[in-house]
Amino acid sequence: MEPSGVSDEKRPTVDLIKDKNGTDQILLQNPKGASVKISLHGGQVLSWKTDKGDELLFTSAKANSKPPHPVRGGIPICFPQFGTRGSLEQHGFARNKMWLVEENPPALPSFDSTNKAYIDLIAYNNHSCFSFEFHLRVSLALDGNLTLISRVRNINSKPFSFSIAYHTYFSISDISEVRVEGLETLDYLDNLFEKERFTEQGDALTFESEVDRVYLNSRDVVAVFDHEKKRTFLIKKEGLPDVVVWNPWDKKAKALTDLGDEEYKHMLCVDGAAIEKPINLKSGEEWTGKLNLSLVLST
Ligand code: TA6
Protein backbone atom coordinates (compact mmCIF):
# COMPACT_ATOMS: atom_id res chain seq x y z
CA MET A 1 0.00 0.00 0.00
CA GLU A 2 1.52 3.31 -1.10
CA PRO A 3 1.79 5.89 1.71
CA SER A 4 -0.86 8.61 1.57
CA GLY A 5 1.10 10.52 -1.00
CA VAL A 6 3.01 12.46 1.63
CA SER A 7 6.66 12.18 0.64
CA ASP A 8 9.23 11.93 3.40
CA GLU A 9 11.04 15.10 2.16
CA LYS A 10 11.03 17.78 4.85
CA ARG A 11 8.43 20.53 4.46
CA PRO A 12 8.39 24.15 5.59
CA THR A 13 6.99 24.49 9.12
CA VAL A 14 5.15 27.26 10.94
CA ASP A 15 4.94 26.96 14.74
CA LEU A 16 3.36 29.12 17.45
CA ILE A 17 5.79 29.47 20.39
CA LYS A 18 6.18 31.86 23.35
CA ASP A 19 9.11 33.94 24.61
CA LYS A 20 10.27 34.06 28.22
CA ASN A 21 7.61 36.71 29.02
CA GLY A 22 4.87 34.56 27.52
CA THR A 23 4.54 36.74 24.40
CA ASP A 24 3.39 34.76 21.35
CA GLN A 25 5.91 34.28 18.58
CA ILE A 26 5.86 32.52 15.23
CA LEU A 27 8.77 30.28 14.18
CA LEU A 28 9.17 29.69 10.44
CA GLN A 29 11.57 26.96 9.29
CA ASN A 30 12.41 25.90 5.76
CA PRO A 31 13.32 22.31 4.77
CA LYS A 32 17.06 23.15 4.82
CA GLY A 33 16.94 24.32 8.45
CA ALA A 34 16.94 28.10 8.00
CA SER A 35 14.55 29.92 10.33
CA VAL A 36 12.81 33.20 11.07
CA LYS A 37 11.22 34.18 14.39
CA ILE A 38 8.53 36.88 14.58
CA SER A 39 7.01 38.34 17.74
CA LEU A 40 3.31 39.18 17.74
CA HIS A 41 4.39 42.18 19.78
CA GLY A 42 4.96 44.70 17.04
CA GLY A 43 4.89 42.10 14.24
CA GLN A 44 8.66 42.32 14.73
CA VAL A 45 11.06 39.88 13.09
CA LEU A 46 13.52 39.05 15.90
CA SER A 47 15.70 36.44 14.26
CA TRP A 48 16.70 35.30 10.76
CA LYS A 49 19.09 32.34 10.72
CA THR A 50 20.86 30.52 7.92
CA ASP A 51 20.50 26.76 7.44
CA LYS A 52 23.73 26.50 9.47
CA GLY A 53 22.13 28.37 12.38
CA ASP A 54 24.10 31.63 11.86
CA GLU A 55 22.12 34.64 13.15
CA LEU A 56 21.93 37.38 10.52
CA LEU A 57 20.08 40.05 12.50
CA PHE A 58 21.46 41.97 15.46
CA THR A 59 19.62 42.03 18.78
CA SER A 60 21.08 43.89 21.74
CA ALA A 61 22.06 41.84 24.77
CA LYS A 62 20.42 44.66 26.76
CA ALA A 63 17.17 44.61 24.76
CA ASN A 64 14.03 45.02 26.82
CA SER A 65 11.75 42.30 25.51
CA LYS A 66 8.81 43.17 27.78
CA PRO A 67 5.96 44.88 25.96
CA PRO A 68 5.35 47.76 25.36
CA HIS A 69 9.06 48.27 24.67
CA PRO A 70 10.14 47.45 21.11
CA VAL A 71 13.09 45.06 21.19
CA ARG A 72 16.34 46.81 20.17
CA GLY A 73 17.16 44.74 17.14
CA GLY A 74 15.59 42.53 14.47
CA ILE A 75 13.24 44.44 12.15
CA PRO A 76 10.89 46.80 14.04
CA ILE A 77 8.25 48.28 11.74
CA CYS A 78 8.25 52.09 12.05
CA PHE A 79 4.64 53.06 11.19
CA PRO A 80 2.50 55.21 10.73
CA GLN A 81 5.49 57.52 10.79
CA PHE A 82 9.27 57.33 10.84
CA GLY A 83 10.64 59.76 13.41
CA THR A 84 8.21 61.93 15.35
CA ARG A 85 4.83 63.31 14.21
CA GLY A 86 2.70 65.41 16.51
CA SER A 87 1.79 63.53 19.68
CA LEU A 88 2.66 60.14 18.19
CA GLU A 89 5.62 58.33 19.77
CA GLN A 90 8.96 58.09 17.95
CA HIS A 91 8.62 55.74 14.95
CA GLY A 92 4.88 55.28 15.52
CA PHE A 93 2.91 52.75 17.52
CA ALA A 94 2.80 49.72 15.15
CA ARG A 95 5.95 48.26 16.76
CA ASN A 96 4.31 48.57 20.20
CA LYS A 97 0.96 47.01 19.29
CA MET A 98 0.02 43.35 19.67
CA TRP A 99 -0.56 41.93 16.17
CA LEU A 100 -2.86 39.01 15.37
CA VAL A 101 -2.36 35.97 13.17
CA GLU A 102 -4.68 36.46 10.19
CA GLU A 103 -6.70 33.32 9.46
CA ASN A 104 -8.10 34.29 6.05
CA PRO A 105 -5.75 36.85 4.54
CA PRO A 106 -6.64 38.47 1.24
CA ALA A 107 -4.76 36.62 -1.55
CA LEU A 108 -1.44 38.11 -2.60
CA PRO A 109 -1.53 38.12 -6.41
CA SER A 110 2.22 38.27 -6.89
CA PHE A 111 3.07 35.66 -4.24
CA ASP A 112 4.01 32.07 -4.95
CA SER A 113 3.73 30.20 -1.67
CA THR A 114 5.16 26.87 -2.84
CA ASN A 115 7.97 25.75 -0.59
CA LYS A 116 7.78 28.94 1.47
CA ALA A 117 7.16 28.98 5.20
CA TYR A 118 5.03 32.05 5.83
CA ILE A 119 2.70 33.74 8.26
CA ASP A 120 0.08 36.46 7.77
CA LEU A 121 -0.24 38.99 10.58
CA ILE A 122 -2.64 41.90 10.90
CA ALA A 123 -2.81 45.07 12.94
CA TYR A 124 -5.95 47.20 13.01
CA ASN A 125 -6.38 50.74 14.12
CA ASN A 126 -9.69 52.53 14.55
CA HIS A 127 -8.68 56.06 15.47
CA SER A 128 -10.69 59.21 14.89
CA CYS A 129 -7.87 60.69 12.79
CA PHE A 130 -7.03 57.53 10.88
CA SER A 131 -8.13 53.91 10.70
CA PHE A 132 -6.23 51.26 8.81
CA GLU A 133 -5.67 47.57 8.34
CA PHE A 134 -2.01 46.61 8.15
CA HIS A 135 -1.55 43.16 6.61
CA LEU A 136 1.99 41.81 6.99
CA ARG A 137 3.18 38.61 5.34
CA VAL A 138 6.57 37.33 6.51
CA SER A 139 7.97 34.47 4.46
CA LEU A 140 11.10 32.31 4.40
CA ALA A 141 11.94 30.76 1.04
CA LEU A 142 13.73 27.49 0.32
CA ASP A 143 16.91 29.47 -0.48
CA GLY A 144 16.75 31.21 2.93
CA ASN A 145 15.58 34.59 1.59
CA LEU A 146 13.40 36.58 3.99
CA THR A 147 10.51 38.60 2.54
CA LEU A 148 8.20 41.07 4.26
CA ILE A 149 5.17 42.23 2.29
CA SER A 150 3.11 45.02 3.83
CA ARG A 151 -0.34 46.01 2.64
CA VAL A 152 -1.88 49.04 4.30
CA ARG A 153 -5.55 49.77 3.62
CA ASN A 154 -7.24 53.03 4.61
CA ILE A 155 -10.56 51.95 6.18
CA ASN A 156 -11.50 55.48 7.23
CA SER A 157 -13.73 57.84 5.26
CA LYS A 158 -10.96 60.46 5.37
CA PRO A 159 -7.62 60.35 3.49
CA PHE A 160 -4.69 58.88 5.45
CA SER A 161 -0.98 59.56 4.95
CA PHE A 162 1.90 57.69 6.54
CA SER A 163 5.63 57.11 6.33
CA ILE A 164 7.15 53.69 7.00
CA ALA A 165 10.51 52.00 7.53
CA TYR A 166 11.52 48.39 8.05
CA HIS A 167 14.14 49.29 10.71
CA THR A 168 16.52 46.41 9.89
CA TYR A 169 19.40 45.73 12.31
CA PHE A 170 21.98 43.68 10.40
CA SER A 171 24.47 41.65 12.45
CA ILE A 172 27.98 42.58 11.26
CA SER A 173 31.53 41.60 12.26
CA ASP A 174 32.80 45.16 12.88
CA ILE A 175 31.40 48.48 11.67
CA SER A 176 34.86 49.45 10.41
CA GLU A 177 34.89 46.35 8.14
CA VAL A 178 31.60 47.12 6.39
CA ARG A 179 30.69 49.08 3.28
CA VAL A 180 27.34 49.83 1.68
CA GLU A 181 26.94 49.96 -2.10
CA GLY A 182 23.97 51.27 -4.06
CA LEU A 183 23.67 54.70 -2.45
CA GLU A 184 26.35 56.44 -4.49
CA THR A 185 25.51 59.93 -5.84
CA LEU A 186 22.11 59.97 -4.07
CA ASP A 187 20.83 62.91 -2.08
CA TYR A 188 20.27 62.28 1.61
CA LEU A 189 18.76 64.06 4.62
CA ASP A 190 21.24 64.10 7.48
CA ASN A 191 19.62 63.77 10.91
CA LEU A 192 22.89 64.93 12.47
CA PHE A 193 22.50 68.29 10.70
CA GLU A 194 18.82 69.10 11.25
CA LYS A 195 17.82 66.95 8.25
CA GLU A 196 19.86 69.19 5.89
CA ARG A 197 20.11 67.79 2.35
CA PHE A 198 23.50 66.56 1.08
CA THR A 199 24.68 64.53 -1.91
CA GLU A 200 26.56 61.27 -1.44
CA GLN A 201 29.95 61.12 -3.17
CA GLY A 202 30.74 58.48 -5.76
CA ASP A 203 32.24 55.82 -3.49
CA ALA A 204 30.73 53.07 -1.37
CA LEU A 205 29.62 54.18 2.10
CA THR A 206 32.04 53.25 4.93
CA PHE A 207 31.85 54.12 8.62
CA GLU A 208 34.18 56.08 10.92
CA SER A 209 31.60 57.86 13.12
CA GLU A 210 27.86 58.15 13.85
CA VAL A 211 25.70 58.02 10.72
CA ASP A 212 21.99 58.85 10.73
CA ARG A 213 20.72 59.53 7.20
CA VAL A 214 17.73 59.04 4.93
CA TYR A 215 18.87 58.42 1.34
CA LEU A 216 16.27 59.52 -1.19
CA ASN A 217 14.93 57.89 -4.36
CA SER A 218 17.35 54.99 -4.12
CA ARG A 219 17.74 52.11 -6.54
CA ASP A 220 15.74 49.04 -5.57
CA VAL A 221 18.85 47.00 -4.64
CA VAL A 222 21.33 47.98 -1.92
CA ALA A 223 24.23 45.78 -0.75
CA VAL A 224 25.90 45.60 2.68
CA PHE A 225 29.35 44.00 2.36
CA ASP A 226 30.81 42.47 5.53
CA HIS A 227 34.43 41.89 4.55
CA GLU A 228 35.47 39.99 7.70
CA LYS A 229 32.48 37.61 7.70
CA LYS A 230 32.82 37.18 3.92
CA ARG A 231 29.12 37.81 3.43
CA THR A 232 26.95 40.33 1.71
CA PHE A 233 23.36 41.25 2.53
CA LEU A 234 21.26 42.15 -0.49
CA ILE A 235 18.28 44.41 0.20
CA LYS A 236 15.69 44.40 -2.59
CA LYS A 237 12.64 46.57 -2.22
CA GLU A 238 9.46 47.66 -4.00
CA GLY A 239 7.33 50.66 -3.06
CA LEU A 240 10.07 51.84 -0.68
CA PRO A 241 11.99 54.64 -2.41
CA ASP A 242 14.18 55.68 0.53
CA VAL A 243 16.92 54.00 2.57
CA VAL A 244 17.72 54.82 6.22
CA VAL A 245 21.33 54.21 7.28
CA TRP A 246 22.02 54.39 11.01
CA ASN A 247 24.85 53.56 13.34
CA PRO A 248 24.83 55.36 16.72
CA TRP A 249 28.62 55.05 17.29
CA ASP A 250 30.08 55.23 20.81
CA LYS A 251 28.53 58.37 22.32
CA LYS A 252 24.92 57.64 21.26
CA ALA A 253 25.39 53.96 22.15
CA LYS A 254 26.26 54.94 25.72
CA ALA A 255 23.08 57.08 25.85
CA LEU A 256 20.84 54.15 24.84
CA THR A 257 19.91 52.04 27.90
CA ASP A 258 19.00 49.03 25.73
CA LEU A 259 22.25 48.96 23.75
CA GLY A 260 25.64 47.85 25.10
CA ASP A 261 28.39 50.49 24.97
CA GLU A 262 30.42 48.45 22.48
CA GLU A 263 27.51 46.88 20.60
CA TYR A 264 27.40 49.64 17.99
CA LYS A 265 30.42 47.88 16.42
CA HIS A 266 28.32 44.84 15.56
CA MET A 267 25.16 46.38 14.13
CA LEU A 268 24.16 48.48 11.17
CA CYS A 269 20.64 49.61 10.27
CA VAL A 270 19.93 49.80 6.55
CA ASP A 271 16.17 50.20 6.18
CA GLY A 272 13.88 50.03 3.17
CA ALA A 273 11.59 53.01 3.76
CA ALA A 274 9.14 55.57 2.38
CA ILE A 275 9.85 58.74 4.33
CA GLU A 276 10.50 61.88 2.26
CA LYS A 277 7.21 61.59 0.35
CA PRO A 278 4.57 60.13 2.71
CA ILE A 279 2.16 57.62 1.19
CA ASN A 280 -1.29 59.19 0.75
CA LEU A 281 -4.29 56.84 0.69
CA LYS A 282 -7.82 57.86 -0.18
CA SER A 283 -10.64 56.07 1.64
CA GLY A 284 -10.56 52.35 0.75
CA GLU A 285 -7.20 52.61 -1.08
CA GLU A 286 -4.41 50.13 -0.36
CA TRP A 287 -0.61 50.46 -0.56
CA THR A 288 1.84 47.56 -0.90
CA GLY A 289 5.49 47.64 0.07
CA LYS A 290 7.88 44.71 -0.26
CA LEU A 291 11.30 44.01 1.27
CA ASN A 292 13.39 40.99 0.29
CA LEU A 293 16.58 40.21 2.22
CA SER A 294 19.09 37.67 0.94
CA LEU A 295 22.60 36.59 1.82
CA VAL A 296 25.49 36.07 -0.57
CA LEU A 297 28.54 34.25 0.83
CA SER A 298 31.95 35.02 -0.70
CA THR A 299 34.77 32.51 -0.75
O1 TA6 B 1 17.54 57.17 11.78
C2 TA6 B 1 17.35 56.14 12.65
C3 TA6 B 1 16.78 56.65 13.97
O4 TA6 B 1 15.77 57.60 13.77
C5 TA6 B 1 17.89 57.24 14.83
O6 TA6 B 1 17.80 58.64 14.95
C7 TA6 B 1 17.67 56.53 16.18
O8 TA6 B 1 16.73 57.25 16.95
C9 TA6 B 1 17.13 55.20 15.69
O10 TA6 B 1 16.22 55.55 14.66
C11 TA6 B 1 16.55 54.31 16.75
O12 TA6 B 1 15.31 54.80 17.16
P13 TA6 B 1 14.58 54.00 18.36
O14 TA6 B 1 13.30 54.72 18.60
O15 TA6 B 1 14.38 52.57 17.88
O16 TA6 B 1 15.55 54.05 19.51
pLDDT exceeds 70 at position 5: no
Q: pLDDT digits over 17-41, tens only?
A: 999 999 999 999 999 999 999 999 9
Does 23 sit in the ligand 1 pocket, CB within 6 Å?
no
Q: Is the pLDDT of residue 43 over 50?
A: yes
Architecture of domain 8-297: Distorted Sandwich (2.70)
Residue 71 CB burial class (10 angstroms; 0-12, 13-18, ≥19): buried
Ligand 1 neighbour 191 (Cβ under 6 A): yes
Rg value, the chain, Cα? 19
Among 91, 210, 243, 268, name the best residue to mutate to test ligand 1's pocket (greatest count of ligand atoms within 8 A of Cβ).
Answer: 91
Report yes or no: 160 and 81 within 8 Å, Cβ to Cβ: no
Work out which ligand 1 atom sits closest to the CA atom of 70. 15
151 CA distance to ligand 1 middle (Å): 23
Reading phi first (left if > 0) and then psi (alpha if -120 to 50, else beta), residue 115 is in: left
> What are the φ/ψ torsions at residue 57 (nearest 5 degrees)?
-110, 145
The pLDDT score that the predictor gives to residue 86 is 81
CA separation for the pair 73, 248 (Å, rounded) = 13
pLDDT over 70 at 1, yes or no: no
Instruction: Check pocket membership of 132 for ligand 1, CB cut-off 6 A.
Output: no
Q: Determine if ligand 1 sits within 6 Å of the CB of residue 212.
A: yes
Number of Cβ atoms within 10 Å of the Cβ of 136? 23
Instruction: Give the pLDDT confidence of 47-104 residue by residue, as tens digits.
Output: 999 999 999 999 999 999 888 889 999 999 999 999 988 888 899 999 999 999 998 8
Confidence at 9, pLDDT banded by 50, 70, 90: low
pTM of the model: 0.95
Separation of CA 29 and ligand 1 centre (Å): 30
Which atom from ligand 1 is nearest to the alpha carbon of 90? 14
